[in-house]
Structure 1
Amino acid sequence: MTNQENAVDLRALPRPVVAVMSSGFFGFFAHAGFLQGLADLGLTPDAYAGSSSGALVAAFAAGGASPQRMLELFSQLGRRDFWDPPSPADTIRWLLGGLKGRSGYLAGEAFERLLGEYLPATRFEDCPKPCLMSALDLTSARRVVLTSGSLPTAVRASGAVPALFAAVPHQGGLLVDGGLIDKAPLTACAEHLGAASLVVHILPSSSLERTPAQTLALSLAPVRIQSRSVDAARWQMYLDQKQAVMERGLALREVLARDMPRCGPKRMHHGPAAFAAARQNAKNVLGTY
């Protein structure tokens, strides 16, 4: 099937169509590129959802920002804009005190302020299109689906990687990265957004790109195996959700983004390449349906 023929197929998906973007460390450039690929194929989603970096892009898209606008904004960012660790003196005291009292190295407040400045809408209720994101509540040990209130706070919570970012207080609980419970929040889209179709962008966890034998050959092998174990469990939960929504009759199109340029706090300059690669990958993969 050609991209032109596939564009007709995508536009024929049952409505509402929700674009769902997975967790993925600093994956927001790739997710924005995925949305650009959908636009190239003529598909305009009715709603947006995501976990972690996917939540960030969902918030921008639901607020009305185009993928190209996201690329422009994200390309202006540097680590200094969101990096808010304790002062050197406080870091030393924290270390000497046995790392007590803080749930993460970065406070996350600078990130939330940045979101408040750049997001086109700062509340879910003000977005032109519905938006959903997930987080994990450490107090109740349950998933929290965020669909109302402050968008900057919700995005911060959904992307609060444990140990790196502080957990975010929420209604008596403490929220951390939604990607721990939802690699991509598929069932939440069915239950809270009334989705009839899901177009899903998946950024594979880097630890799963090696075999266990390759992982054991690396330094700090036990730590890497622990990370792989968590990522493997998250992947199984995603597959379970995928099966569940398809059994409910939802149409699903999945774009697996392998071998994308990796971004990170010190690799933000890889962002435009990740955007371009994900854009082309979306068109290539969806052209196979």
Structure 2
Amino acid sequence: MTFNDYLLAPSHLALSSGFFGFYSHAATSAALWEAGYRPSSISGASAGALIGCLLACGLSSNAIAERLSLLQRSDFWRPGIGLGLLKPDGFKATLRQLVPQRRFEDTETPFSVSVYSVKERGTKVISSGDLIDGVFASCAIPFLFHPQRMRGDLLWDGGIKDRPGVAGVPDDGELLYLHIPSKSPWRRHVPLPERVRTTRLAVHGLPRSGPSKLALGPTIYGLAYQAVLAQMQRPYESVLNIDAETR
């Protein structure tokens, strides 16, 4: 069985957090969709929540790639007084322009995000209610963005306690987990999901993105896309560590 064969069977999709890792997630998912993959549900944290939202709302791979290629720092860099440097206005306005849906219940594919609850000091899963607020909360890196206020709670980046973004994955069925490798010494040893019937995919060797490195986006996208596409006709393995530079 090839990796492409595996993708034609039903599975849930989880997308990990990763600092400005949405270029890698977008490219990987584009290759998966081109191979015919369509998940039963989608969950994610932080960058994984952002791309997961676009996928769950039915945006095409081309539309996602085009918007990311045009992304500028000014789209989300809106400093303001609060518990963080940046207000949520720019992020939310950009997301509203991309997707017509406004509630989790309206997405084309069942969708959930992980967020960090200050009140509960742990991960919460959001799968209903305001879609834009929920996705922003999952992406709200502490002290870079203001937290999302929701029902008397302060919500921050879902990757704080659930870096893999798997808290909302249904218990049944296969799971395809897209992992963004971290170059941080504090993040390298975060445990991957321990769950039976899980396939883990990670693309290594990609340039590191960030608020001041958005120009690297198209390069990251191209490398990740070609690396995953080259894997399709190779034998299926439950752990796929793909090198973007040597393939």
TM-score w.r.t. length of structure 2: 0.88
Whichever of the two has the greater Rg, that structure is 1
* Counterparts of 1:25 and 1:185, CA distance in 2: 13
Does residue 169 in structure 1 map to residue 149 in structure 2? yes
Note if 1:77 corresponds to 2:77: no
1:202 to 179, 188, 191: 179
Equivalence for 2:35: 41
Describe the shift of the 1:187–1:106 C-alpha distance in structure 2 as closer, same or farther (beyond 3 A): closer
Say whether 1:277 aligns with 2:220. no
Query: Out of 13, 22, 27, which is 1:19 matched to?
Result: 13
Q: Which residue of 2 aligns with 1:221?
A: none
- Secondary structure of 2:169's counterpart equals helix
- In 1, Cα distance between the equivalents of 2:104 and 2:123? 19
Say if 1:23 and 1:179, in contact at 8 Å, map to a contact too. yes
Which amino acid is the alignment partner of residue 7 of structure 1? N
SS at match of 1:257: strand
One-letter amino acid matched to 1:24: G
Question: What's the offset of the Cα at 1:142?
Answer: 2.2
Structure 1 counterpart of 2:244 = none
Distance (Å, rounded) in 1 between the aligned partners of 2:41 and 2:55: 9
CA distance in 2, matches of 1:113, 1:56: 13
State whether structure 2 residue 58 is matched by structure 1 residue 64: yes
- How far the C-alpha of 1:153 sits from its partner, in A, is 0.7
Aligned amino acid, residue 46 of structure 1? S
Residues 150-206 of structure 1: CA deviation (Å, up to 9, x unaligned): 111111100110111111111111000000111122242024xxx411111111122
Mean alpha-carbon deviation: is it higher for 23-32 or for 271-280? 271-280
Which digits, 9 at most, give the CA deviation of each residue in 1:48-82, with x for residues without a partner? Answer: 11100100001100000012210111111211111
Matches within 5 A, 1:147-162: 147-162=127-142
Matched position secondary structure for 2:52? helix
1:69 is paired with a residue whose SS is helix
CA distance in 2, matches of 1:128, 1:103: 34
Match of 2:5 in 1: 8
- Correspondence for 2:169 among 159, 184, 189: 189
Contact persistence 1:18–1:48 (CA under 8 A)? yes
User: Over the residues paired in the alignment, what is the CA RMSD in angstroms?
Assistant: 1.8
Unmatched tracts of structure 1, length 5 or more: 91-101, 209-227
| AA of the residue aligned to 2:20 | F
- Structure 1 counterpart SS, 2:170: helix
Match for residue 84 of structure 2?
104
Counterparts of 1:112 and 1:167 in 2: how far apart (Å)?
13
Aligned match of 2:114: 134
Q: How many residues align?
A: 235
Partners of 1:255 and 1:111 lie apart in 2 by 28
Deviation at 1:284, TM superposition (A): 4.4
Cα offset, 1:135, TM superposition? 0.4
Contact 2:114 2:167 survives alignment (8 Å): no
Partner of 2:242: none
Q: Matches of 2:184 and 2:235 in 1, distance apart?
A: 27
Structure 2: gaps (5+ residues) = 237-247
Q: Deviations over 1:75-103 (max 9, x none)?
A: 112111111113xxx7xxxxxxxxxxx31
Q: Distance in 2 between the 1:152 and 1:39 partners?
A: 24
Identity of aligned residues (%): 31
The answer as to whether partners of 2:181 and 2:188 remain within 8 angstroms in 1 is no
How far off its partner does 1:144 sit? Answer: 1.0
Deviates more, 1:112-121 or 1:74-83: 112-121
Question: How many angstroms does 1:33 deviate by?
Answer: 0.5
- Paired residue type of 2:180: L
Q: 2:94 aligns with which of 108, 111, 114?
A: 114
Does the C-alpha gap of structure 1 residues 187 and 138 become closer, same or farther in structure 2, counting only changes over 3 Å?
closer
